[in-house]
Amino acid sequence: MSNSTYDYDVLVIGTGPGGEGAAMQAAKAGLSVAVVERHTSIGGGCTHWGTIPSKALRYSISSVMNALGSPVLRACGVHANPTMKQLRSSAQQIIGKQVSMRQTFYDRNNVPVLVGQASFVDDHTIRIDGQSDQKVTANKIVIAVGSRPYHPPDVDFEHPRIFDSDTILGIDEKPFSITIYGAGVIGCEYASMFRNLGIKVNLINTRAKLLEFLDDEIIDALAYHMRDQGVVIRHNETLDKIEGVDDGVILHLKSGKQLKSDALLWANGRQGNTDGLGLENVGLTPDKRGQLEVDEQFQTARDHIYAVGDVIGFPSLASAAYTQGRAAARHFSDSVEVESNLRIRDIPTGIYTSPEISSVGKTERELTEECVPYEVGSSQFKSLARAQITGRTAGMLKILFHRETREVLGVHCFGAEASEIIHIGQAIMNQPAGHNTIDYFVDTTFNYPTMAEAYRVAALNGYNRLF
């Protein structure tokens, strides 16, 4: 299958989830593949600055706080106040394991990792400035360079108390208070983490609701629980200026409000890492946030150049990036259309707030706008024996289904283990017609006690609404 005209059949720029997915799929198809990584370790932002370290920190915080909140430990006189360094220590171990494991993927599939900054010379030639400057050619090129926190020019990120979602992971001391500007997924996740540490949190939302792409009931539940935990949420606010002072940061809003806190986390948007790629040499122009436009096959305006992952924008999930990379590789290696290969339209959300959120499929808002006759089945976690045993009773599972066919149209979960629970509903949604209904949950025996039992309870709740 290889084309000897070029050094490689495929060159992938970036080793995050999108790049890895594309490289491995292409290698399995028998193509000669190389990847370019500008950092000394593979894995991209997902492994080093985003998903892995932030979720490891979240787990450390929740584990420690749950343990310290145990009545048994309190009765034994156990008290502790872990430092940020102690809380994030496990993250470094996990990052090392991830890098080592992922390196074996490239090694056993004979995919060389070329270290350096990649830039286009022409349509099929890439210059790599790094340990050994070189030029390589490839028939197909996949851009998977990821993104970084967006830095507006009027915010002083050099100030020791002003952070973005990358640098916040290196914070040395727990602040007494923090203001988070931006209430998207990253802002909400960090608001939950810091509040669980007992830090006072101001969460500033530039929109009318939190995470507007979610189901309205889930949005309301998230807002309620965050406020119940002590997070102060301010909606429909716009930045005027950020003033860093010796003892903190003052956030000035255009509404006239001023908020002072020990630290500020800027969590308002991401910027694609396309600067320095020499895209002008191949006729590609990213948008103002450095993102590239692609079609449904992940092809850019140049058919032989693909782009996947955060660099193409929404949904900006590690899981989505890996699937997009595989889909792009299947398209250029096997001529398989995206619609007939991987379920790129069936990507669940996974939001690691406290409690966490996950959903797949349509929301009630969307079904109402589309005039779909749907019904709702819900289950409150507080009624589940497993939730009562673990003490994590906050949350619910909601199934949206067609009134006539009983086909599952959407599943929305808020609570402990939501990102795991969602996959059961996802699997049933994608069964052939007649097998993708709530009947499966009604007629199936679930282990008891489990959180998955929520599906049976929700399905019966919905079934009883039919007439």
Q: Kindly report the number of other CB atoms within 10 A of residue 250's CB atom.
A: 15
d(CA 239, CA 414): 30
Q: Is 186 annotated in some ligand binding site?
A: yes
Q: Kindly report the number of other CB atoms within 10 A of residue 367's CB atom.
A: 18
Q: Is 44 annotated in some ligand binding site?
A: no
DSSP for 375-436 reads EEEEEEGGG-HHHHHHT---EEEEEEEETTT-BEEEEEEEETTHHHHHHHHHHHHTSPTTSS
Q: What angle do CA 461, 364, 236 make, to 5 degrees?
A: 130
Task: Print burial letters for 31-62: b (CB count within 10 Å at least 16), e (below 16).
Answer: bbbbbbbbeebbbbbbbbbbbbbbbbbbebbb
**CATH architecture of the domain with residue range 8-53+88-147+271-340:** 3-Layer(bba) Sandwich (3.50)
Q: Is 173 annotated in some ligand binding site?
A: no
Domain span(s) for CATH 3.50.50.60 in the chain: 8-53+88-147+271-340, 162-268
Find all residues with CB under 8 Å of 221, minimum gap 6, and list them.
395, 396, 414
Three-state secondary-structure class, residue 169: helix
Q: Is 182 annotated in some ligand binding site?
A: yes
Judge if pTM exceeds 0.85: yes
d(CA 91, CA 53): 5
Domain span(s) for CATH 3.30.390.30 in the chain: 355-463
Find all residues with CB under 8 Å of 157, minimum gap 6, and list them.
151, 163, 164, 167, 266
Task: Please tell me the predicted confidence (pLDDT) of residue 89.
Answer: 83
Q: Is 185 annotated in some ligand binding site?
A: yes
Q: Can you read off the two tokens belonging to residue 1? A: 């299958």
Q: Is 247 left (phi over 0), alpha (psi -120 to 50) or beta?
A: alpha
d(CA 238, CA 241): 9
450 close to 389: Cβ distance less than 8 angstroms: no
Q: 355-463: what fold?
A: Enolase-like; domain 1 (3.30.390)
Q: Is 188 annotated in some ligand binding site?
A: yes
Place domain 162-268 in its CATH homologous superfamily.
FAD/NAD(P)-binding domain (3.50.50.60)
Segment 365-410, tens digit of pLDDT? 999 999 999 999 999 999 999 999 988 999 999 999 999 999 999 9
Task: Please tell me the predicted confidence (pLDDT) of residue 111.
Answer: 97
What does pLDDT average to over the chain? 93
Find all residues with CB under 8 Å of 68, minimum gap 6, and list them.
74, 78, 79, 80
Segment 166-207, tens digit of pLDDT? 999 989 889 999 999 999 999 999 999 999 999 999 999 999
- Segments of the chain with pLDDT less than 50: none
Q: Is 398 annotated in some ligand binding site?
A: no
